[in-house]
Amino acid sequence: MACTVPYLGHGVGLRTQHFPRVWEGTARVDWFEAVSENFMIRGGRPLAVLEKAREIAPLVLHGVSLSLGSTDPLNDAYLHDLQTLIHRFEPAWVSDHLCWGSVGGHYAHDLLPLPYTEEALTHVVERVRAVQDRLGRQILLENVSSYLTFSHSTMPEWTFLAEVAERADCGILLDVNNVYVSATNHGFNPAEYLTALPAERIGQIHLAGHSDQGTHLLDTHAGPVSAPVWDLYRLALHRYGRVSTLIEWDERIPEFDELCAEAERARAIECEICGGFYAESP
């Protein structure tokens, strides 16, 4: 089996700052990714804007609070809300993160690292399967940036991610910036990470900016994609072929056109690596 999501081209994350452009119908892009939790509401402007975005371009839902690695039971109300969003907006696919963010009923609202052990692997696989059964669809799992690793891990992150994808039959959302940030913070070779992942399971790529804190890299999404991350993106395209790619930008968010220029840069690189006619989206 493989990841069966369609190829959508080069998209951007839907952010509040760009709601006016979406509302007036001038936000032209291949596709949008919306953070699921921001739209688990009952009415008002955000949902109306999301309807509009959906009319403009294909949409993908990207969650941050599914907490797949948590040892708490899956949050039934959350899954219900997610299912409601899926029915209403018919996203091309749904994704969340390979991490945990809650325990004892409390949420950290962060993407916390897992130990890469057999115990965690079995647990995550079971949870991903349960979510896929509940939603009736394959989901994509994203690798997170991390600032610590656990000494009792028995395998590297890339092996863990590949194993989860195979055993749970889910797709992979490869965040190339996160690979670079974690590789720098933990001293591994990012190319090794990319090489180890099964190409047929990569359904989406994330690109974003990070910041150098001197002692470590921080995944801030506060600026343009850095040169080494573009290089790693090239490597990813060599290895996997063309993959739907999305620019994330969450702090110091630029004008919509500047954001789209980053997506166009990704498109140009894809054409350079994978061939094909390069034409900016209308």
- Among 2, 28, 52, 147, contact with another protein (rule: CB under 8 A): 147
Nearest residue to 66 (alpha-carbon basis) of 86, 94, 31 = 94
- Among 24, 73, 76, 104, contact with another protein (rule: CB under 8 A): 104
- Among 73, 105, 136, 275, contact with another protein (rule: CB under 8 A): 105
Q: What is the distance of C-alpha 139 from the center of its chain? A: 11
CA dihedral 113, 193, 201, 11 (to 10 degrees): 80
**Which tokens belong to 149?**
């690793």
The residue among 81 and 264 lying less far from another protein, judged by its C-beta, is: 81
The residue among 110 and 272 lying less far from another protein, judged by its C-beta, is: 110
Dist. CA 205–CA 246, nearest whole Å: 6
* Residue in this structure with the two tokens 């899956």, named with its chain if needed: 74
Report in angstroms how near the CB of residue 73 gets to another protein at its nearest: 12
Do strands 139-142 and 94-97 pair parallel, antiparallel, or not at all (unpaired)? Answer: parallel
Dist. CA 18–CA 226, nearest whole Å: 23
Candidates 119-127, 163-171, 198-206, 265-273 — which segment interacts with another protein by CB under 8 A? 119-127
Asked if 87 is part of the footprint of another protein (rule: CB under 8 A), the reply reads no
Residue 108: φ, ψ to 5°: -90, -15
Asked if 145 is part of the footprint of another protein (rule: CB under 8 A), the reply reads no
The residue among 114 and 232 lying less far from another protein, judged by its C-beta, is: 114
Nearest residue to 99 (alpha-carbon basis) of 154, 167, 146, 49 = 146
Site string for another protein, 160-199 (x = CB under 8 A): -------------------------xxx------------
Asked if 109 is part of the footprint of another protein (rule: CB under 8 A), the reply reads yes
Binding footprint of another protein on the chain (CB under 8 A): 37-38, 40-48, 65-67, 70-71, 75, 78, 100, 102-110, 112, 114-115, 117, 119-120, 123, 147-152, 185-187, 215-216
